[in-house]
Amino acid sequence: MHLFALFCFSGYFHRLAALELTGPGAVSGLWGRSVSVPCQYHERYQETPKYWCSGIIWQSCSKVVETTGSEAEVKRDTVSIRDNHTLHMFTVTLENLTLGDTGIYWCGINLRSKSDFNFPVSVTVLQGESLLPSLCGTAEPTCSSR
Ligand X SMILES: *[C@@H]1O[C@H](CO)[C@@H](O)[C@H](O)[C@H]1NC(C)=O
Binding site for ligand X (CB under 6 A): 71, 78, 84, 86-87, 95-96
> 128 near 31, Cβ under 8 Å?
yes
Mapped onto helix, strand or coil, the DSSP state of residue 88 is coil
CB 133, min distance to ligand X, A: 27
Mapped onto helix, strand or coil, the DSSP state of residue 134 is helix
CB 95, min distance to ligand X, A: 4
Rounded to whole angstroms, the Cα distance separating 134 from 121 reads 29
CB 46, min distance to ligand X, A: 12
Q: Phi and psi of 143, rounded to 5°?
A: -65, -35
Rounded to whole angstroms, the Cα distance separating 18 from 1 reads 25
Question: Considering beta carbons, is residue 15 or 44 the nearer one to ligand X?
Answer: 44
Question: Considering beta carbons, is residue 62 or 86 the nearer one to ligand X?
Answer: 86
Question: Considering beta carbons, is residue 86 or 134 the nearer one to ligand X?
Answer: 86
